[in-house]
Structure 1
């Protein structure tokens, strides 16, 4: 392929390549010439081509993959959480909380008003700051010096935390399979995801060690109710992972405890006493509703200062009205009782559906969180296609996988808002879909 690349300086070569991409001569995923080859063709020093490629990589136009070569960046959209737009199918892959289990905001709205907040005032509402300090401090090392930051949700916090610490093409350790928003955040930021396998106890020790050996500068993990697997970090695994991180105190550890007050599992942390760069993020969206775009981040002082600087060019602070509403709700006894009830309901409904699936010949574990991660004897996409013919829209595990080769044999289902009749019908249809896709079910035991 004749790309007609020209130029004598790094900027001229970069501009020539960018023009070829913008004109459609190069497409997402196309491999660019090796540095030596292009340097020889243009009659320039190899370092000139290296500099040109670096310019384009920093701009997000191309990506470098080591021995895998240099490619035109793929900016196609990735899967997102939430309802599928325009579908007539019953959506059981949304990842949404149950609206019936979100506390009523009306009483709290009536008593949260206060004087107007003006430019230059403290960005954290005093009442929320006091409550959040107690909430976060109890789960962090006693000697940890922490600062609080309020952001517009957990995804906003993670994006800004990564941006203040990394540059394009820096490596980030992500759980594999991974939360869709984390995949999207890393991809848009131009960082290089390094997959760390997840089992029933959380991130694996070997996986984290391998990621650190590859030079990751940040680790993003979910301590409980991991999405999509439902795994929660065990005390034993947390201790082992902290031991691995002890030799890497300046790697930024971001803990996204998204399920927090709803979780049925104890909190375990990767943040060890003496770790220098860390952040614990807790959003209110799962228990107060997705439209409550607010998250509390506790972090070391340096990270907090950098995070605050990342907020100044745009959303300088989260609305104090939203902060006061959050504080009014989390300090209300009835609301907190409703949140505890919601967490128990999610766990009970998921466990009941797992029992139904097991009875149909598809044994699974309920885990923790809003979703179920169902193992299948056949590729998940084949099962999801069969489910569409039966009126259901489910998410195949392929959408959540970063590093695994081959098709996923997992299905992520959100079933907690189904009534008993629909839950029974879905379990029967999943089993039928597996059979139609060529899979064999586990034979039922005869009493």
Structure 2
């Protein structure tokens, strides 16, 4: 109960609220007393109560809702990528790569065992560092970038934000947005500022508005944006770089998650004068999600800050995993399989959208593992009807930032692993569900 709050200093009051929250006496959504009321009851200066609430807000324990008061914060649930558990429905909402197209690591495994790596040694395998530098150099306008290895792209983004931001800092996110980015920003206590995405990627006016709102970081997906599949055009990338010229110290994170599988050229927002940047590429889409490794090519200062968070003996990425990744990346047969997989995803998605157009549903041919399909009616209604026909799909509502006045009219479907017969059945069921 809020009446049990005690203390005569800001620290004591904050500790009292924290203790009540930990014991369950104050639950998420519980409203704390107004500052004046609390100060009067405890016999302290109003500024002391204000300072206590500020400490709690900075720790992410309370949220100020203006005239609605200060409330105990909770953790909002965020939908997760991957297969749904406990369902008998055919899941076309996964966003997963096809396991049959992921190269078998067995041949490479026999080559990676070697001298053990000990505490105090370099945390990045020298061979992987050299190879990845050559991989990203053509796509960066900076020659002095440094490579950092992380445990996947989500880990890279979390560390990049943590080394640059504090709680309640604003971050520009694409809208609709990749689920993991929404989750990372919420858990970090940052404020998400939505930037609309169209068929050419992040919009110019949306980015300009976000920068005017004071965002300290921008997360962009230059190609195969999840969930829409949009890729930056050369024209749009140039326009966005022009907007960013006046904001060189805003941390610009490019998540090139589809990289080697992409059928589109890479268009970067990182201009030659931008001072804080990171190009992140993971291997999970083409070497498999269990290969939890990504590289971040960053400016030297950002690299130094990341290195502090990857200190030897605590959080380096296993050198065995680094060697295994390098062994596969430098294998001609693996490279050919990855290229073939990228072509397969593109062909299967294009075939599915062609079937939809035959039935009057216009779906763009985009890049990535999934399709973003616009419907003439709310997607939730269509999903409910598809469930009755044995399919599990995702609505665009799950990828939206904040509350929308209108329900989404989009579905994200992962169809590349369907047989021709199953794809035809899904199209028939989808058309029936829409009409």
Q: Same fold (TM over 0.5)?
A: yes
Aligned pair count reads 434
* Aligned-residue offset at 1:399: 0.9
Aligned counterparts of 1:2 and 1:364: Cα–Cα separation in 2 = 53
**Greater CA deviation, 56-65 or 330-339?**
56-65
The equivalent of 1:135 in structure 2 is: 135
Aligned twin of 1:438: none
Alpha carbons of structure 1 residues 215 and 65: separation in structure 2 relative to 1, 3 Å? farther
> Is the 1:144–1:273 contact (alpha carbons within 8 Å) kept by the matching residues of 2?
no
Inter-CA distance 68–278: structure 2 relative to 1 (3 Å threshold): farther
* Cα offsets for 1:98-139 (capped at 9, x unmatched): 011111222222223322222222111121111101001110
Q: 2:424 aligns to what? A: 424
The corresponding residue for 1:58 is 58
Q: 2:366 corresponds to which residue?
A: 367
1:106–1:283 CA distance, 2 compared to 1 (3 A): same
* 1:9 paired to 2:25: no
Look up the SS of the partner of 1:230 in the other structure: coil
CA distance in 2, matches of 1:200, 1:42: 57
Distance 1:32 1:371 in 2: 44
Give the aligned partner of residue 296 of structure 1. 295
Q: Which deviations, in whole Å up to 9, do the C-alpha atoms of 1:393-419 show, x marking residues without a partner? A: 111111110035132111111110000
**Aligned match of 1:174:** 173
Give the distance between the partners of 1:228 and 1:43, measured in 2 at CA: 53
1:414 aligns with 2:411: no
User: Matched residue of 2:155: which SS?
Assistant: helix
Distance 1:37 1:247, change over 3 A: farther
Report the CA distance shift for 1:361/1:111 in structure 2 as closer, same or farther (over 3 A): same
Q: Which residue of 1 aligns with 2:236?
A: 237
Q: What's the CA shift for 1:308?
A: 1.0
Deviations 1:145-175 (A, max 9, x none): 1111111110111111111111111111111
Partner of 1:219: 218
Q: Shift of residue 86 of structure 1? A: 1.3
Identify the residue that residue 385 of structure 1 maps to in structure 2.
384
Match of 1:297, SS?
Answer: strand
Question: Aligned partners of 2:69 and 2:205: how far apart in 1?
Answer: 27
Superposition pairs of residues 103-122 of structure 1, within 5 angstroms: 103-122=103-122
The corresponding residue for 2:81 is 81
**Matched residue, 1:201:** 200
Given the superposition, is the C-alpha separation of residues 106 and 430 from structure 1 closer, same or farther in structure 2, using an over 3 Å criterion? same
CA pair 69-232 structure 1, distance change in 2 beyond 3 A: farther
Q: Which residue of 2 aligns with 1:275?
A: 274
Deviation at 1:71, TM superposition (A): 3.4
Is 1:336 aligned to 2:331, yes or no?
no
Gap change, CA 1:338 and 1:57, over 3 Å in 2: same
> How many angstroms does 1:76 deviate by?
3.9
Q: Find the aligned partners of 1:30 and 1:360 in 2 and give their Cα distance.
A: 51
Q: Distance in 2 between matches of 1:21 and 1:275?
A: 43
Instruction: Write the distance in 2 (CA, Å) between the matches of 1:287 and 1:226.
Output: 16
The answer to whether the 8 A contact 2:128-2:326 is kept is yes
Secondary structure of the structure 1 residue equivalent to 2:174: strand
How far residue 212 of structure 1 moved from its aligned partner, in angstroms, is 1.2
Query: Contact 2:257 / 2:280 at 8 angstroms: preserved in 1?
Result: yes
Q: Which residue of 2 aligns with 1:349?
A: 348
> For the residues of structure 2 that align with 1:257 and 1:46, how far apart are their CA atoms?
49
Structure 1 residue 315, shift from structure 2 partner:
4.3
The answer (yes or no) to whether the contact 1:186–1:193 under 8 Å persists in 2 is yes
SS in structure 2 of the partner of residue 312 of structure 1? coil
Separation in structure 2 between the aligned mates of residue 68 and residue 172 of structure 1, nearest angstrom: 24
Residue 439 of structure 1 is matched in structure 2 by none
Aligned to 1:442: none
Partner of 2:310: 311
Give the gaps of 5 or more residues in structure 2.
none
